[in-house]
Amino acid sequence: MKAIIINNYGGTEVIETSNDSQKPAVKAGQVLVEVHAASLNRIDSAIRAGYLHQMMPLSFPSVLGGDFAGIVAEVGEGVINVKTGDEVYGYAGAFLGGSGSLAEYTSASVDKVSKKPRSIDMAAAASLPLAGASAIQAIEEHIKLRKGQKILIHGGSGGIGSLAIQLAKLHEAYVAASVSTSNIKLAKQLGADEVIDYKTNDFTSIIKGYDAVLVGAAEELNNSYKVVKKGGILVSMVGNVDENLAKEYGITAITQMTQTSTSQLKRLSELVESGKLKPLIDKTFTLNNAREAFEYFEQKHPRGKVVIKIK
Protein backbone atom coordinates (compact mmCIF):
# COMPACT_ATOMS: atom_id res chain seq x y z
CA MET A 1 0.00 0.00 0.00
CA LYS A 2 1.27 3.46 -0.89
CA ALA A 3 1.17 5.94 1.99
CA ILE A 4 2.67 9.25 3.09
CA ILE A 5 4.58 8.66 6.30
CA ILE A 6 7.00 10.20 8.75
CA ASN A 7 9.59 8.38 10.86
CA ASN A 8 10.28 11.31 13.16
CA TYR A 9 8.98 14.79 13.90
CA GLY A 10 10.11 17.76 11.84
CA GLY A 11 9.42 20.05 8.91
CA THR A 12 8.30 19.03 5.45
CA GLU A 13 11.68 17.37 4.91
CA VAL A 14 10.58 14.40 7.09
CA ILE A 15 7.68 13.54 4.76
CA GLU A 16 8.28 10.30 2.86
CA THR A 17 6.38 8.22 0.33
CA SER A 18 6.19 4.53 1.28
CA ASN A 19 5.23 2.00 -1.39
CA ASP A 20 4.99 -0.97 0.96
CA SER A 21 3.03 0.25 3.99
CA GLN A 22 0.77 -2.33 5.57
CA LYS A 23 -2.95 -2.03 4.88
CA PRO A 24 -4.69 -1.14 8.18
CA ALA A 25 -6.49 -3.87 10.09
CA VAL A 26 -10.12 -3.15 10.91
CA LYS A 27 -11.16 -3.35 14.54
CA ALA A 28 -14.65 -3.43 16.02
CA GLY A 29 -16.41 -0.13 15.46
CA GLN A 30 -14.19 0.81 12.53
CA VAL A 31 -14.41 0.89 8.75
CA LEU A 32 -11.71 0.31 6.16
CA VAL A 33 -11.95 2.84 3.34
CA GLU A 34 -10.34 2.87 -0.09
CA VAL A 35 -9.29 6.51 -0.11
CA HIS A 36 -10.01 8.55 -3.23
CA ALA A 37 -9.05 11.97 -1.86
CA ALA A 38 -7.78 13.59 1.33
CA SER A 39 -7.21 17.18 2.46
CA LEU A 40 -4.77 19.01 4.69
CA ASN A 41 -5.49 20.80 7.95
CA ARG A 42 -3.39 22.94 10.25
CA ILE A 43 -3.38 20.20 12.85
CA ASP A 44 -1.69 17.83 10.37
CA SER A 45 1.28 20.18 10.18
CA ALA A 46 1.33 20.73 13.95
CA ILE A 47 1.33 16.99 14.65
CA ARG A 48 4.07 16.32 12.08
CA ALA A 49 6.23 19.07 13.57
CA GLY A 50 5.89 17.55 17.06
CA TYR A 51 4.14 20.53 18.63
CA LEU A 52 1.50 18.24 20.11
CA HIS A 53 3.68 15.24 20.94
CA GLN A 54 2.89 15.32 24.64
CA MET A 55 -0.86 15.43 24.04
CA MET A 56 -0.96 13.33 20.86
CA PRO A 57 2.17 11.14 20.70
CA LEU A 58 2.76 9.21 17.48
CA SER A 59 4.19 5.75 16.96
CA PHE A 60 6.59 5.71 14.01
CA PRO A 61 6.31 5.18 11.14
CA SER A 62 3.08 7.17 11.18
CA VAL A 63 0.75 7.91 8.26
CA LEU A 64 -0.16 11.60 7.97
CA GLY A 65 -3.57 13.12 7.37
CA GLY A 66 -7.09 13.02 8.75
CA ASP A 67 -9.75 14.21 6.26
CA PHE A 68 -10.76 11.71 3.59
CA ALA A 69 -13.41 10.65 1.10
CA GLY A 70 -13.62 7.21 -0.44
CA ILE A 71 -15.44 3.88 -0.68
CA VAL A 72 -15.98 1.47 2.21
CA ALA A 73 -13.92 -1.68 1.59
CA GLU A 74 -14.64 -3.49 4.87
CA VAL A 75 -16.62 -2.95 8.05
CA GLY A 76 -15.69 -4.02 11.54
CA GLU A 77 -17.85 -5.75 14.10
CA GLY A 78 -20.81 -3.67 15.28
CA VAL A 79 -20.85 -1.26 12.33
CA ILE A 80 -24.39 -0.79 11.02
CA ASN A 81 -24.67 2.77 9.65
CA VAL A 82 -22.48 2.16 6.57
CA LYS A 83 -21.75 -0.92 4.46
CA THR A 84 -19.21 -2.15 1.95
CA GLY A 85 -19.43 -0.14 -1.27
CA ASP A 86 -20.82 3.03 0.31
CA GLU A 87 -19.25 6.34 -0.66
CA VAL A 88 -18.24 7.98 2.62
CA TYR A 89 -16.24 10.83 4.07
CA GLY A 90 -14.86 11.53 7.50
CA TYR A 91 -11.83 11.85 9.72
CA ALA A 92 -9.11 9.23 10.25
CA GLY A 93 -6.41 11.02 12.22
CA ALA A 94 -4.00 8.60 13.86
CA PHE A 95 -4.51 10.24 17.27
CA LEU A 96 -8.30 9.75 17.12
CA GLY A 97 -8.47 6.03 16.46
CA GLY A 98 -7.75 6.16 12.73
CA SER A 99 -4.73 5.13 10.69
CA GLY A 100 -4.09 8.36 8.75
CA SER A 101 -5.77 9.38 5.50
CA LEU A 102 -2.83 10.04 3.17
CA ALA A 103 -2.78 6.44 1.99
CA GLU A 104 -4.54 4.16 -0.47
CA TYR A 105 -6.51 2.71 2.45
CA THR A 106 -7.38 4.11 5.85
CA SER A 107 -9.21 2.84 8.90
CA ALA A 108 -11.49 5.18 10.81
CA SER A 109 -13.80 5.01 13.80
CA VAL A 110 -17.33 4.73 12.46
CA ASP A 111 -18.47 7.58 14.73
CA LYS A 112 -16.28 9.90 12.62
CA VAL A 113 -17.65 8.70 9.26
CA SER A 114 -20.81 9.38 7.26
CA LYS A 115 -22.10 8.87 3.73
CA LYS A 116 -20.66 11.59 1.52
CA PRO A 117 -22.86 14.22 -0.13
CA ARG A 118 -24.03 12.79 -3.47
CA SER A 119 -23.93 16.14 -5.26
CA ILE A 120 -20.16 16.66 -5.02
CA ASP A 121 -17.13 14.65 -6.07
CA MET A 122 -14.62 12.91 -3.85
CA ALA A 123 -12.16 15.82 -3.83
CA ALA A 124 -14.80 18.31 -2.68
CA ALA A 125 -16.07 15.87 -0.04
CA ALA A 126 -12.55 15.31 1.27
CA SER A 127 -12.17 19.05 1.81
CA LEU A 128 -15.04 19.18 4.27
CA PRO A 129 -14.79 16.97 7.38
CA LEU A 130 -12.63 18.85 9.90
CA ALA A 131 -13.18 22.37 8.53
CA GLY A 132 -16.93 21.80 8.17
CA ALA A 133 -17.28 20.22 11.59
CA SER A 134 -15.28 23.13 13.06
CA ALA A 135 -17.62 25.69 11.49
CA ILE A 136 -20.73 23.83 12.67
CA GLN A 137 -19.38 23.35 16.19
CA ALA A 138 -18.45 27.03 16.48
CA ILE A 139 -21.45 28.66 14.80
CA GLU A 140 -24.28 26.32 15.78
CA GLU A 141 -23.11 24.54 18.95
CA HIS A 142 -20.95 27.07 20.80
CA ILE A 143 -22.14 30.47 19.59
CA LYS A 144 -25.70 29.35 18.72
CA LEU A 145 -25.86 32.21 16.24
CA ARG A 146 -29.29 33.74 15.71
CA LYS A 147 -30.97 35.96 13.15
CA GLY A 148 -29.86 39.57 13.36
CA GLN A 149 -26.80 38.96 15.51
CA LYS A 150 -23.40 40.29 14.48
CA ILE A 151 -20.36 38.07 14.11
CA LEU A 152 -16.76 38.80 13.12
CA ILE A 153 -14.94 35.93 11.42
CA HIS A 154 -11.15 36.18 11.25
CA GLY A 155 -9.42 34.21 8.51
CA GLY A 156 -12.52 34.37 6.35
CA SER A 157 -10.85 32.99 3.22
CA GLY A 158 -9.42 29.84 4.83
CA GLY A 159 -10.85 26.34 5.06
CA ILE A 160 -12.88 26.98 8.22
CA GLY A 161 -13.56 30.67 7.64
CA SER A 162 -14.97 30.22 4.13
CA LEU A 163 -17.51 27.72 5.45
CA ALA A 164 -18.21 29.73 8.62
CA ILE A 165 -19.18 32.81 6.58
CA GLN A 166 -21.67 30.78 4.54
CA LEU A 167 -23.08 29.10 7.65
CA ALA A 168 -23.44 32.39 9.53
CA LYS A 169 -25.36 33.88 6.60
CA LEU A 170 -27.69 30.87 6.62
CA HIS A 171 -28.57 31.88 10.17
CA GLU A 172 -29.31 35.39 8.87
CA ALA A 173 -26.58 37.04 10.90
CA TYR A 174 -24.65 40.17 9.96
CA VAL A 175 -21.19 38.91 9.04
CA ALA A 176 -17.94 40.86 9.06
CA ALA A 177 -14.84 39.03 7.86
CA SER A 178 -11.16 39.92 8.09
CA VAL A 179 -9.00 38.80 5.18
CA SER A 180 -5.92 39.89 3.25
CA THR A 181 -6.18 42.40 0.42
CA SER A 182 -6.23 39.74 -2.28
CA ASN A 183 -9.18 37.94 -0.67
CA ILE A 184 -11.62 40.83 -0.24
CA LYS A 185 -13.62 39.94 -3.35
CA LEU A 186 -13.79 36.27 -2.32
CA ALA A 187 -15.12 37.09 1.15
CA LYS A 188 -17.88 39.19 -0.40
CA GLN A 189 -18.75 36.37 -2.80
CA LEU A 190 -19.03 34.00 0.16
CA GLY A 191 -21.63 36.35 1.66
CA ALA A 192 -19.80 38.63 4.08
CA ASP A 193 -21.69 41.89 4.66
CA GLU A 194 -18.53 43.76 5.61
CA VAL A 195 -14.93 42.88 4.76
CA ILE A 196 -11.90 44.21 6.60
CA ASP A 197 -8.44 44.16 5.05
CA TYR A 198 -6.32 43.21 8.05
CA LYS A 199 -3.15 44.30 6.24
CA THR A 200 -4.25 47.93 6.04
CA ASN A 201 -6.87 48.31 8.81
CA ASP A 202 -7.10 47.83 12.56
CA PHE A 203 -10.33 45.88 13.00
CA THR A 204 -10.75 47.16 16.58
CA SER A 205 -11.30 50.67 15.21
CA ILE A 206 -14.07 49.41 12.90
CA ILE A 207 -15.86 46.64 14.81
CA LYS A 208 -17.62 47.37 18.11
CA GLY A 209 -20.20 45.59 20.24
CA TYR A 210 -20.45 42.34 18.26
CA ASP A 211 -22.32 39.33 19.60
CA ALA A 212 -19.58 36.91 18.64
CA VAL A 213 -16.11 36.54 17.19
CA LEU A 214 -14.67 33.42 15.56
CA VAL A 215 -10.89 33.61 15.59
CA GLY A 216 -9.15 31.69 12.85
CA ALA A 217 -5.98 33.78 12.73
CA ALA A 218 -3.63 33.60 15.73
CA GLU A 219 -2.37 37.17 15.45
CA GLU A 220 -5.90 38.51 15.91
CA LEU A 221 -6.78 36.62 19.10
CA ASN A 222 -5.73 39.04 21.85
CA ASN A 223 -7.39 42.09 20.30
CA SER A 224 -10.63 40.23 19.56
CA TYR A 225 -11.87 40.41 23.15
CA LYS A 226 -12.24 44.17 22.73
CA VAL A 227 -14.90 44.00 20.03
CA VAL A 228 -17.31 41.55 21.73
CA LYS A 229 -20.17 43.10 23.66
CA LYS A 230 -20.74 42.21 27.29
CA GLY A 231 -22.42 38.82 27.46
CA GLY A 232 -21.11 37.89 24.01
CA ILE A 233 -18.89 34.99 23.02
CA LEU A 234 -15.45 34.47 21.51
CA VAL A 235 -14.42 31.13 20.01
CA SER A 236 -10.75 30.53 19.25
CA MET A 237 -9.56 27.92 16.74
CA VAL A 238 -5.93 29.00 16.98
CA GLY A 239 -4.84 29.14 20.60
CA ASN A 240 -5.88 29.02 24.23
CA VAL A 241 -8.21 31.79 25.33
CA ASP A 242 -7.31 34.14 28.17
CA GLU A 243 -9.85 33.69 30.96
CA ASN A 244 -8.70 36.87 32.69
CA LEU A 245 -9.36 38.94 29.57
CA ALA A 246 -12.71 37.25 29.11
CA LYS A 247 -13.66 38.15 32.68
CA GLU A 248 -12.42 41.71 32.21
CA TYR A 249 -14.66 42.21 29.16
CA GLY A 250 -17.58 40.22 30.57
CA ILE A 251 -17.68 37.66 27.77
CA THR A 252 -17.54 33.89 27.34
CA ALA A 253 -14.33 32.66 25.70
CA ILE A 254 -13.93 29.12 24.35
CA THR A 255 -10.91 27.29 23.02
CA GLN A 256 -12.38 24.92 20.45
CA MET A 257 -10.77 21.55 19.81
CA THR A 258 -13.00 20.09 17.12
CA GLN A 259 -13.99 16.45 17.43
CA THR A 260 -15.48 15.50 14.07
CA SER A 261 -18.61 13.40 14.54
CA THR A 262 -21.07 11.53 12.36
CA SER A 263 -23.85 13.91 13.38
CA GLN A 264 -21.82 16.92 12.23
CA LEU A 265 -20.97 15.18 8.96
CA LYS A 266 -24.65 14.42 8.36
CA ARG A 267 -25.46 18.08 8.99
CA LEU A 268 -22.76 19.06 6.51
CA SER A 269 -24.18 16.68 3.92
CA GLU A 270 -27.65 18.19 4.32
CA LEU A 271 -26.29 21.70 3.81
CA VAL A 272 -24.24 20.71 0.78
CA GLU A 273 -27.04 18.68 -0.81
CA SER A 274 -29.42 21.61 -0.46
CA GLY A 275 -26.91 23.94 -2.12
CA LYS A 276 -26.61 26.11 0.99
CA LEU A 277 -22.96 25.33 1.63
CA LYS A 278 -20.27 25.09 -1.04
CA PRO A 279 -16.78 23.67 -0.47
CA LEU A 280 -13.88 25.88 -1.52
CA ILE A 281 -10.76 24.19 -2.94
CA ASP A 282 -7.62 26.19 -3.61
CA LYS A 283 -5.40 23.56 -5.23
CA THR A 284 -5.14 19.80 -5.71
CA PHE A 285 -2.06 17.58 -5.68
CA THR A 286 -1.36 13.90 -6.22
CA LEU A 287 -0.26 11.50 -3.49
CA ASN A 288 3.23 11.44 -5.01
CA ASN A 289 3.43 15.20 -4.50
CA ALA A 290 2.33 15.22 -0.86
CA ARG A 291 5.46 17.02 0.34
CA GLU A 292 4.85 19.80 -2.19
CA ALA A 293 1.23 19.94 -1.03
CA PHE A 294 2.32 20.52 2.57
CA GLU A 295 4.84 23.17 1.49
CA TYR A 296 2.17 24.99 -0.49
CA PHE A 297 -0.34 24.68 2.36
CA GLU A 298 2.08 26.02 4.96
CA GLN A 299 3.60 28.84 2.91
CA LYS A 300 0.85 30.21 0.67
CA HIS A 301 -2.19 30.80 2.94
CA PRO A 302 -4.62 28.98 0.62
CA ARG A 303 -8.12 30.13 -0.23
CA GLY A 304 -10.13 27.26 1.14
CA LYS A 305 -8.61 23.79 1.20
CA VAL A 306 -5.63 21.95 -0.29
CA VAL A 307 -6.70 18.51 -1.51
CA ILE A 308 -4.66 15.44 -2.38
CA LYS A 309 -6.18 13.11 -4.97
CA ILE A 310 -5.36 9.45 -4.46
CA LYS A 311 -7.68 7.67 -6.92
Q: What is the pLDDT of residue 46?
A: 93
Q: What is the pLDDT of residue 96?
A: 77
- CATH assignment of 3-128+279-309, among 3.50.50.100, 3.30.70.270, 3.90.180.10, 2.40.50.100: 3.90.180.10
Residue 65 contacts residue 100 (beta carbons within 8 Å): yes
Q: Strand 174-179: give its sheet, edge to edge.
A: 194-197, 174-179, 150-154, 210-215, 228-236, 252-255
Beta strands in the chain (DSSP E): 3-6, 16-18, 30-39, 62-63, 67-75, 87-91, 105-109, 113-115, 150-154, 174-179, 194-197, 210-215, 228-236, 252-255, 281-286, 305-309
Bridge partners, residue 177, by sequence: 153, 195
Please report, for residues 131, 191, 225, 248, 251, the alpha-carbon distance to residue 229 in angstroms, rounded to integers and kept in the order given: 27, 23, 9, 12, 7
pLDDT digits (tens, 9 = 90+) for 72-120: 999 999 999 999 999 999 999 987 789 999 999 999 999 999 999 999 9
Question: pTM, whole model, 2 decimals?
Answer: 0.95
Residue 53's pLDDT band, with cuts at 50, 70 and 90, is confident
Q: What is the pLDDT of residue 33?
A: 98
Average confidence score pLDDT of the chain: 96
pLDDT digits (tens, 9 = 90+) for 117-176: 999 999 999 999 999 999 999 999 999 999 999 999 999 999 999 999 999 999 999 999
pLDDT digits (tens, 9 = 90+) for 202-260: 999 999 999 999 998 888 899 999 999 999 999 999 889 999 999 999 999 999 999 89
* Distance, CA of 176 to CA of 205 (rounded, Å): 13
Same fold, 3-128+279-309 and 131-255: yes
Topology of domain 131-255 in CATH is: Quinone Oxidoreductase; Chain A, domain 1 (3.90.180)
3-state secondary structure of 247: helix
Please report, for residues 31, 93, 266, the alpha-carbon distance to residue 84 in angstroms, rounded to integers and kept in the order given: 9, 21, 19
- DSSP category for residue 51: T
In one-letter notation, the amino acid at residue 162 is S
Query: What is the residue-wise DSSP string for 89-116?
Result: EEE--GGGT---SSBSEEEEEGGGEEEP
231 CA to centre of own chain: 27
Instruction: Give residue limits of the domains in the chain.
Output: 3-128+279-309, 131-255
